[in-house]
Chain A
Amino acid sequence: MTDSNSTIISAESAEAIEVTDQPSAWSRLIRNPGVIIGGLLLALIVSLVPAAPFITPLDPTDISPRNRNKAPGYETVHKDDEGNKYTVVAHMGTDKLGRDVFARVIYGARVSLVVGVSVAAIAVSLGLFIGLMAGYFRWVDAIVMRIMDGLMAIPAILLAIALVSLSGATLFTVILAIVIPEIPRVVRVVRSIVLSIREEPYVEAAISVGTPTAKILWRHVLPNTLAPLIVQGTFICGSAILLEAILSFLGVGVPPEIPTWGNIMAQGRDLFQIFPHSILYPGIFLTLTVLAINMLGDGLRDTIDPRMSKEI
């Protein structure tokens, strides 16, 4: 679903920009080093999602007392369904329950990416809707922006921790808890764009010929928000993955049996002075993923939304 959406969005925004910019934005996009390196790195990590069962034969949730706390390179013994024994090299060692850290790290990519993409999609769509309403209808604006200011004032991490601990830790509540602090950031961007577009002559013209408000928002205002929202969505995806890892690491995130990078690190904390691999390897994967997304976001911002590149 997200795949087809993103292709539609990028095709449309590329067209929209081609009219205004001199050299084609699309060609600048595919020549931007950030987009290329970030995109390739991200593609590699995304490919772990379908490829995981082919990379490791092990189940990331399999507990095996005899393989507890082994250093990287140790050969662990497992049984297959027929009871035949086979050995697997634990590339990243095992954790205190004997689970293979390599398998957990590889499968952990799934949860991280699901959280990142869902949070970005939900936060952007909700924020877009609220922002359009706030920007276009003055009476909504006053109320909504006060609520958004209040939400922005509460540190995202504390809000997320409190929401998860109150509603019980599941993958869904974690996603929701990360979405809520992100919404105001989207609303602000959308609202400021709507406010400036609303004064444009073509919107005035549309109003004067009696175009219904819904159609004005859809046809004239919405397309202008696409490029900034793609950029914003990319950064939200990165920060959501980071926040999920932080929540899991602090023990208030996704349930511990689900392999996520944050959970692996949380479980490696007590013994990390002797077995640093449980923290080191998921940390590397987490960093590379966030780095890839941020590079992609920077590249997208510089090429499709140059207005924003002056901020930060």
Chain B
Amino acid sequence: MWSYLFRRILAVIPVLLVVLIIVFLMLRLTPGDPAANIAGDAATTEDIAQLRADLGLEEPLLVQFGIYAKNLLRGDFGESFYYKRPVISMIADGVQPTLSLALFTIVIASVIAVPLGTLAAYRQGTWIDRMVMGFSVVGFSVPVFVIGYLLIYFLSVKLEWFPVQGYQHIQDGIAGWAYRLILPASALSVIFIALIARMTRTSVLEVLNEDYIRTARAKGLPESKVVMKHALRNAAVPIVTIIGIAIGILISGVVVTESVFVIPGLGLLTLDAIQGRDYPTVQALIILFSVVYVLINLVIDLLYTLLDPRIRY
């Protein structure tokens, strides 16, 4: 098992290296002069030449990559062209709002979806099951910004139950922080409720057909105990699998949701950076999101071995 863990952790390195290369090449290989792209339309020829020198664009590609990789390894993401601040400090500012939104979303989604999926599996073929599955298909198809604006329009503008947009830092009061996160997190959680409910239903269904469930019923356990203690617990492992898919959806969802609800997190930072042609920031954010994605998938793989003692490599 230790050799498996070791190999699995090592396998992350080539993936991250490829991510670095793709992000590096993206800026260099797109049509046009990257320095002219960065400088924008108003720049003079001298500005562009200066920028080319500053960026080291005159060096051979391989040397450029060496410098870029070395800086990244030292944790130096460069300075924002736009805000003239170290990129790393801008990222640090955005972590709290984004993480809060993501956590809130996952909590809301799990609390609703797991019971819903279990119920659907347990009452397979009934109207409850059909409703849950129908909702699941619809939930996959409604874009998060449409849900977001619907919620804002009805709950904030019409009923005035919630603030329209914005974010409050947790240090300025937990109540306000949570209150302002309810709408954005609800909007973003719809697709996860669809995903998790469907997956829970499938894996609970599979478990319900197992022999040990029949045994549990045969020995006279109440149904609630059969479902809670035997079915749901054994169904948990496959549910963990979708976290990998979910993280991908979560990252894109966060970008859109932050834009709709004006939450000053990493997603809004990415969009601002792209619109301001702030390439060091864009580069750093894409790498950061990718590293998070790869690492979470690594942790999930490792969790398998702990969660399910039957899996031995």
What is the interface of chain A, defined by CB distance below 8 A to chain B? 34, 146-147, 149-151, 153-159, 161-163, 165-167, 238, 242, 245-246, 249-252, 265, 272-273, 276, 279-280, 283, 286-287, 290-291, 294-295, 298, 310, 312
What is the interface of chain B, defined by CB distance below 8 A to chain A? 14-19, 21-23, 26-27, 30-31, 37, 137-138, 140-143, 145-146, 149-150, 153, 157, 164, 195, 198-199, 202, 242, 245, 248, 251-252, 255-256, 259, 270-271, 274-275, 277, 282, 285-286, 289-290, 293-294
- Give bound CA distance, A147 to B271, whole Å: 26
Pairs of residues from A and B, 6 with the lowest C-beta to C-beta distance, nearest first:
A150-B18, A283-B146, A157-B252, A291-B141, A166-B30, A290-B141
- B157 touching A294, Cβ below 8 Å: no
Q: Which residue of A149, A153, A162, A286 contacts B143 across the interface (Cβ within 8 Å)?
A: A286
A201 nearest CB across to chain B (Å): 30
- Specify which chain B residues have a CB less than 8 angstroms from the CB of A155 in the assembled complex: 248, 251-252, 286, 289-290, 293
B269 nearest CB across to chain A (Å): 12
B158 nearest CB across to chain A (Å): 10
- A165 touching B274, Cβ below 8 Å: yes
| Closest chain A residue, CB of each to CB of B279 | A166
- Specify which chain A residues have a CB less than 8 angstroms from the CB of B275 in the assembled complex: 165, 251-252
- A238 touching B141, Cβ below 8 Å: yes
- Specify which chain B residues have a CB less than 8 angstroms from the CB of A280 in the assembled complex: 149-150, 153
Q: Is the interface of B mostly helix, strand, loop or mixed?
A: helix
- Specify which chain B residues have a CB less than 8 angstroms from the CB of A251 in the assembled complex: 275
Decide: A279 near B282, CB < 8 A? Known: A153-B19, A312-B199: no
- A312 touching B153, Cβ below 8 Å: no
- Specify which chain A residues have a CB less than 8 angstroms from the CB of B143 in the assembled complex: 242, 245-246, 283, 286-287, 290
Decide: A250 near B259, CB < 8 A? Known: A153-B293, A158-B270: yes
Known: A157-B256, A272-B153, A287-B146. 20 other contacts (CB 8 A): A146-B18, A149-B15, A150-B15, A150-B21, A153-B15, A153-B290, A155-B251, A157-B252, A158-B252, A161-B271, A165-B275, A167-B31, A251-B275, A265-B145, A276-B153, A279-B149, A286-B143, A290-B141, A291-B142, A312-B242
B40 nearest CB across to chain A (Å): 12
- A246 touching B252, Cβ below 8 Å: yes
- A147 touching B137, Cβ below 8 Å: no
- B274 touching A154, Cβ below 8 Å: no
B151 nearest CB across to chain A (Å): 12
| Closest chain A residue, CB of each to CB of B20 | A150
